[in-house]
Structure formats: C-alpha cells, structure tokens
Amino acid sequence: MSDSIQRVSIVVLISGNGTNLQAIIDAVATADLPVDIRAVISNKPEAYGLERARRAAIPALVVDHRRYPDRAAFDAALQTAIDQYQPRLVVLAGFMRILTPEFVAHYHGRLLNIHPSLLPAFRGLDTHKRALEAGVKEHGVSIHFVTAELDGGPLVAQQKIAVLPGDDALSLAARAQQAEHILYPQVIRWFAEGRLILQANRAMLDGEPVRLSHQTTSG
C-alpha cells in the first residue's frame, strides 16, 4: 500500500476478547488496510481487547455502562469519547450493547457491525447454538451498516460456512470467527477506499446496490 494513500480514521468498540480487533490491527500492520485506528473503546474494563490495543500502541479507553443510570446517558458519554478522535468510521467488533436511535443517527452511514449469523436469520445472541437447534445446513457471518433496528441494518457482506456433522456451538463458532477475521478487514477496506457507502438506506459497493454476488470474501 502506497504511503500516498490517505488513511481513514476509525474507532473500534469492543466488549470482550477482541479477536476481530486483532484481525484489523494485523491487517493495518501488514499494509493491507489503509486506516488509522485512533482508539479502542470498551464498555467493560476487563475486556482483553483493551490489552491488544495497548500492545499495538493504540489508545485504549473504558466507558463503563454500569456507571450510567440508563442507556441514553451511557450512549451520550460513549459518543463524547468517540468524537474526540473524529473518526470517519466507527467499527463495532463484538460490542455487546444495544445502541439508542440517537446514537445510531449521529453516526449514520459510518457505523458498521459484524454479526455471527446469516442475517436476517438468528438476530440477537447465542446464534451458533440456535443455528444448531434449528438444524440448518449453512451458517455464517454478516456485516451490516447499523440502524436503530437490532441486527437489521443494510447488509454489506456475508460469508457462509457449512454446518458439519458433530458440530457443537464451540466448533461452529471457531469456524465462524475465522470467516469474520477475513471478511471484516475487507469490508473496512472497501469503506476506506471509498467503494462502500450507505445511500438511501442501501449499502452501495462500487456504485451498485450490494447483491449476493458481493457477499463473499473475494475482492
């Protein structure tokens, strides 16, 4: 990647281990992703992803949701913390909080989330367990622009994985994570390169509405 390419500033929000954060950090380190990770913010002080950020010399902040009386107050504090870094894009990478419509509107068109299912299937939590209980033969991961509807924003990309005989929730989750670690940096790169935008509540890639042919890890 040429140094002449302008890096896009991002802030990453996490709640836990931060494996997707690590995939993003690694992609930046190998000059494969033209972004500047301005900060990593967690709602949980014990989140290991904060240590991943510190090891990469990225500012690591905590905005503990338990210190606020309600969701609106927490989101207002979180927004203040994010906006001091003036990011072009906010990346939810295992951030386990439902966001208020006001927060989502503030970052309209520049807020991405990754979800461990083939949306619209299995919105919410425990997706791998629920997929197995439903007996589906294909599972996967989805990346979407965030709207006020839980896991309901415009889809950007999906990657399918097969459900194998003998799978349990842990083995299925492990393969889903492998797909996430490839797909998320790719989608962030699309945004950074100006190829991906949200327009009239549609995800647009290279000037065209995202279609199933785009929902792979190719390109």
Is the pLDDT at 44 greater than 80, yes or no?
yes
For the chain, the first-to-last Cα distance in angstroms comes to: 16
Percent of the residues in the chain that have a pLDDT greater than 70, as a whole number: 94
Mean pLDDT for 10-25 is 98
Task: Kindly indicate the confidence band of residue 4, based on its pLDDT and cuts at 50, 70 and 90.
Answer: very low
Mean pLDDT in residue range 50-57: 98
214: annotated active-site residue: no
Instruction: Provide the pLDDT for residue 212.
Output: 55
**CA–CA separation, 24 vs 210, rounded Å?**
22
Region 13-22: what's the mean pLDDT? 98
Class of domain 8-214: alpha beta
In the numeric block, the tokens 């609106």 are attached to 72
**pLDDT tens readout for residues 196-214:** 999 999 999 999 999 854 3
pLDDT at 31: 83
Alpha carbon of 82 to those of 3, 14, 47, 89, 214: distances in Å? 26, 13, 18, 10, 30
Single out the catalytic residue among 65, 106, 108, 115.
115
Q: What is the pLDDT of residues 131-184, one digit of tens each?
A: 999 999 999 999 999 999 988 999 999 999 999 999 999 999 999 999 999 999
- For residue 196, the one-letter residue type is L
Question: What is the model's pTM?
Answer: 0.93
What pLDDT digit, counting tens, does each position of 67-93 carry? 999 999 999 999 999 999 999 999 999
Average pLDDT on 50-66 reads 98
